[in-house]
Structure 1
Amino acid sequence: MISATTAKIINILPNKFVTYISKKMVNKYLKKYASINIQGSENLKGIKTPTIFICNHLSNSDGLVLDKALKEIDPTFVAGIKLSNNAITSIGVNVVKTTNIKPNTADKDGLKKIVSLVKQGESLLIFPEGTRSRVSSLIEAKRGVLLIARMTGAPIVPIGLYGTEKLLPINKEGDMSAETFNYADVHINIGKQFEFPKRAKEQDKKEYEDFAIRYIMKKIAELLPENYRGVYK
């Protein structure tokens, strides 16, 4: 991976130049290290847009490989604000379209912008777990995706992704700047679009949310090998 010093220099250049250089660098790394296999591309034909793509989260490289798989739809990625604040991970943010949100907070401004993007016709990609899985399998999802789905009314497309945990492994000390690319086979499995489940009259809020989050996460789990399904087996 590039050094922190180089990343800082790149990020002080004019925006268009930063984007150009960032894309060149990312494409170079992915071409060298990643063998990307995509299944289910036919499920993207004729889908209703805007739509919300949901995917499991294993690595900081997830957005980079998914951006390639979904280039014809070109969704906006919902990303934690700290990715933009780190000199190296901000290189990746420059490559894909992102909208920032503050994790684990009532980020009303971030949420308002997300909903506005969908109402303007933009598709989204959300990692419902809210963070990268340190156990290389599905962990409990956050409830934010339910709020976004309800407020936008957009249909959902599930994606199962694996292999990126080997392509760009999570640094054990939590230092994203120290993460490096490795040779890896990456698999992207795109599922069929579905409608967000509606709340039944007899369901209370907690019962409904428990059902809804499990329902949509099982859609992702079905697209993954069993050892990646984690808490949603």
Structure 2
Amino acid sequence: MAKRSLEEQVLVIWKTWRARAFYRVVQLVIRVIGRLYLRTKVVGAERLKSDGAFIIASVHRSNLDAPLVNSRCPRIVRSLAKREMFTGGIGTWVSAMLGSFPVQRGAGDRRSVTAAIDLLKRGEPLLVFPEGTRQAGPQVGEIFGGAAFLAARTGVPVLPVGIAGTEEAMPPKAKSLKRVRVSIVVGEPLLIPDGGNKRLSASERNEFTAHLRSAMQAAMDEAVELAAARRARRNE
């Protein structure tokens, strides 16, 4: 019997009741930490409670971003994660049970794209980081066109998300979690023109990607402003 690929292993783990139970326990723990320790405030949280599939297109400043955003969605959110997170054995089990799917960074990864499309067509939410790897500061960097591609193929809405505070709470290589207030803004959903189930031309994909980047920047600006206002009120 042929050995299963990493992608096949992850899909098998996803289907187990243990994976769903583990996800829910971790989701609850993260939500409690987010509320009580990081004082996380979310603007537009109701948009994460929509029925059907949608793509969460979030800025990426910290490893806290995905857990904090996903904890505010009542459903299980799948995430595309760097392949290095799936270290084999217990590492692969934990990453898979957290809803992650392996992606080969810096290369076309047909299997991950196919899995993402299948998940969306099944009606599941999916988190992506259009900037790719973690960035720094309040400006949204250049983003990849993956969200536009997935939205075009499935017709699902894309939710732009800005986050302030996670970069300070858990910067790269941090050994502990600092108590910094986190602000998250979930913007208005964006839709591909003329619906989905089609292939975008390069110009159409670039246009939608530029629109998404602007929406992510607007959400980021609002999150930064909210964070500053909260700090000012605390210091009064």
Alpha carbons of structure 1 residues 15 and 50: separation in structure 2 relative to 1, 3 Å: closer
How far off its partner does 1:149 sit?
1.8
Residue 184 of structure 1 corresponds to which residue in structure 2? 180
Counterpart pick for 2:41 among 37, 50, 72:
37
Give the % identical residues: 21
1:96 to 95, 98, 119: 98
CA contact (8 A) 2:42 2:183 kept: yes
Partner of residue 64, structure 1: 67
Offset from partner CA, 1:197-218 (integer Å, 9 cap, x none): 459xxxx944333221110111
Change in 2 beyond 3 A, CA 1:166/1:19: same
Task: Tell me the SS of whatever aligns to 1:214.
Answer: helix
The Cα offsets for residues 132-184 of structure 1, whole Å up to 9 and x where unpaired, read as 1034531111122222222222111221111100111013xxxxxx5431111
Aligned-partner Cα distance in 2 for 1:32–1:130: 30
TM-score normalized with structure 2 length: 0.71
Bigger drift between 90-99 and 121-130 goes to 90-99
The number of equivalent residue pairs is: 204
The code of the aligned residue for 1:194 comes to L
Which residue identity lines up with residue 121 of structure 1 in the other structure?
A: G
Query: Which residue is equivalent to 2:113?
Result: 111
Hey, what does 1:10 align to over in structure 2?
Answer: none
Residue 193 (structure 1) aligned with residue 197 (structure 2): no
Residues 1-40 of structure 1 correspond to what in structure 2 (within 5 A)? 30=34, 33-40=37-44
TM-score by length of 1: 0.72
Alpha-carbon distance in 1 for matches of 2:43, 2:91: 27
Q: Which residue is 1:219 aligned to?
A: 215
Change (3 A) 1:104 1:76: same
1:3 aligned partner: none
Question: 1 CA distance for matches of 2:160 and 2:121?
Answer: 20
Higher relative contact order (CA 8 A, sep 6+): 1
**C-alpha distance in 2, partners of 1:92/1:137?**
32
| C-alpha displacement of 1:88 | 11
* Change in 2 beyond 3 A, CA 1:27/1:146: closer
User: Is the Cα–Cα contact under 8 Å of residues 81 and 100 in structure 1 kept in the other structure?
Assistant: yes
Residue segments in structure 1 that go unaligned for 5+ positions in a row: 1-13, 172-177, 229-233
Provide closer, same or farther for how the CA distance between residues 21 and 145 of structure 1 changes in structure 2, counting only shifts above 3 A: closer
Q: Kindly report the root-mean-square deviation, in angstroms, between the aligned alpha carbons of the 2 structures.
A: 3.6
Q: Indicate conservation of the 8 Å contact 2:148/2:205, yes or no.
A: yes
Distance apart, 1:128 and its partner CA: 0.6
1:123–1:60 CA distance, 2 compared to 1 (3 A): same
Q: Report the equivalent of 2:53.
A: 50
Q: Given residue 216 of structure 2, which amino acid in structure 1 is its aligned partner?
A: I
Residues 180 and 43 of structure 1, relative CA distance in 2, 3 Å threshold = same
Q: Which amino acid aligns with 2:114?
A: K
Residue 144 of structure 2, aligned match among 142, 145, 156 = 142
Unpaired runs of at least 5, structure 2:
1-17, 225-236
Question: What's the CA shift for 1:113?
Answer: 1.0
The CA deviation string for residues 101-135 of structure 1, in whole angstroms up to 9 with x for no partner, is 11111111111111111111211111111111034
Distance 1:165 1:86, change over 3 A: farther
Distance 1:180 1:88 in 2: 22
Match of 1:6 in 2: none
User: Secondary structure at 2:219's aligned position in 1?
Assistant: coil
Cα distance in 1 between the residues matched to 2:90 and 2:70: 18
